A = this chain, B = another copy of it.
Amino acid sequence: MSRYTAPLADMRFALYDVLGAEAILTNLNGGEGHTRDLLDAVLDEGARFNEQVLAPLNKSGDQEGCHFEAGTVRTPKGFKEAYKQFVDGGWAGLTAPADMGGQELPESIGAVFKEMIDSANLSWGTYPLLSHGATESLKAIGSDWQKEVFLKAIVDGRWTGTMCLTEPHCGSDLGLLKTRAEPAADGTYKIYGTKIFITAGEHDMTDNIVHLVLARLPDAPAGTRGISLFIVPKFKVNQAGEQGERNAVACGSIEHKMGIKASATCVMNFDGAEGYLIGEPNKGLAGMFIMMNTARLAVGLQGLGLMERAYQNALAYARDRLQMRSLTGAKRPDKPADPLIVHPDIRRMLLTQKAFIEAGRVLTYKAFVLVDVAHRGADETTRKNADDLLGFLTPIVKAMMTELAVENCYHALQIFGGHGYIQEWGMEQLARDARITTIYEGTTQIQALDLLGRKIMQVGRGECCTWRRIPCRKTGHHPLLLRPDPAAPRHPQGGPREWRRQHDGV
């Protein structure tokens, strides 16, 4: 079985020494208590939980997989109990608002903890994964009742959240969405349609599941401007927040996948299920994107977590396995052969892994520090600048950390040779698990479109030139410096070429 020890020293180095997070986090609004002592204690405890509770369930979960019987999903042995420990330990609401029952610790600390989960047991981590995104969406645009009933239950871990976007005929292209919502007399909606690839759409860890569902109202415009967002709980909830009868939403089947086999990937059928509109009609995509951006950063962390575990094991194996002599003469003449690590190409692979991880960790944590500053920075300019840079970095973190994870796991498996290809050592599981990360929450190709089309080229829509994310020829502003001139003129309508003509005079 593959091993995992939380790399606390490396994590602290990235967060504190490279990113200077101590000063940043204590300067957040309400961040006075975020002392290094406190945060370190949290991470120590998190390491214990992940090493001792989640990591031992990684291989068994992969081998057992999820069980689907008559609409219910049973998670692998030990998963439910581990979730209970997660909730009892207060981990579910680690970064959630205090007034919702959370501990309101920085997102960047939550990210370090989540990296450990993703190393210890990626599949298990997908159950609470989307609760975090649901929290963000509900916090931003949920009604008071929705926050009181659904957000609080998610924050304290009693219920989990899902994100129901994909349908059989539409994945990335949400404009094709067909699921429909019919208004009922009591102000609720009846949801009809089929969603696929719904992570943790059904499971046995909690009493209720809160689906966040994209659907169309009867009079909605075509395309993405006619999509609304709804809460559809597995069990209906009354005004007082009491859990009632089963809602008309059911899991039709679970997918048989290459990896993350212990994560239930569900087909969800909505047959007139009772739903509650979140935010405004036809503005659902904006709400979903709050969730989606959170999820994209979370998937970047998954890449990091997988890389760390793959590297730890490859390094240990390369030090232990004796095979052939060093080209520069025996390094262990007392042994029948030298350890693998003496061979140049093995070192190249290990150092590649290490470089990916060290640089990737700083990049990913940087994004989460920006989340903290964007939410709780001292003033509006600071928050806006952090949010701008975060928007730019999100597709980079998502795409880069996952593509590197695929490559990193390739190296780990290669270092193990034939032993990497068999289940016993755990490397092939990491490679299979990693392979989903470049796909879900938007493929690498979708991230590229987001980066180039929305974060760099999207100009001429009244946005300031800082949105172009390339140096402005007129003002010389470089977007990464985040020093836009507040007095800079806003730009006229028109495509990028027209904009460049008017703005830069070229």
Interface residues of A (CB under 8 A from B): 166, 169-173, 175-176, 196-197, 255-259, 265, 322-324, 336-337, 343, 345-346, 406, 410, 413-414, 417-418, 420-424, 428, 431-432, 435-436, 438-440, 443-445, 448
Contacts and interface: CB of A to CB of B under 8 A. Distances in A.
The residue among A196, A322, A432 with the most chain B CB atoms within 10 A of its own CB is: A432
B171 A422 contact: no
A345 B346 CA distance: 32
Contact of A428 (B196, B197, B258, B448): B258
Contact of A257 (B324, B345, B423, B445): B423
Contact of A413 (B255, B343, B418, B435): B435
A255 B176 CA distance: 45
A505 to B, nearest CB: 26
Given A345-B448, A439-B414, A257 B422 contact: yes
A346 B172 CA distance: 14
Number of copies: 2
5 closest residue pairs by CB, A with B: A258-B428, A256-B423, A173-B323, A173-B324, A345-B445
A439 B417 contact: yes
A77 to B, nearest CB: 18
Contacts of A197: 418
Contacts of A423: 255-258
A440 B418 contact: yes
A470 to B, nearest CB: 19
Contacts of A417: 171-172, 439, 443
Nearest to A420: B439
A443 to B, nearest CB: 6
A197 B196 CA distance: 39
30 contacts: A169-B322, A171-B418, A172-B323, A173-B322, A173-B323, A173-B324, A173-B337, A175-B324, A175-B337, A176-B337, A255-B422, A255-B424, A256-B423, A257-B421, A257-B422, A257-B423, A258-B421, A258-B422, A258-B423, A258-B428, A265-B422, A345-B445, A413-B435, A414-B438, A414-B443, A414-B444, A414-B445, A418-B440, A420-B439, A421-B436
Contacts of A421: 257-259, 435-436, 439
Contacts of A439: 413-414, 417-418, 420-421
Contacts of A444: 414
A413 B431 CA distance: 14
A445 to B, nearest CB: 5
Contacts of A171: 323, 417-418
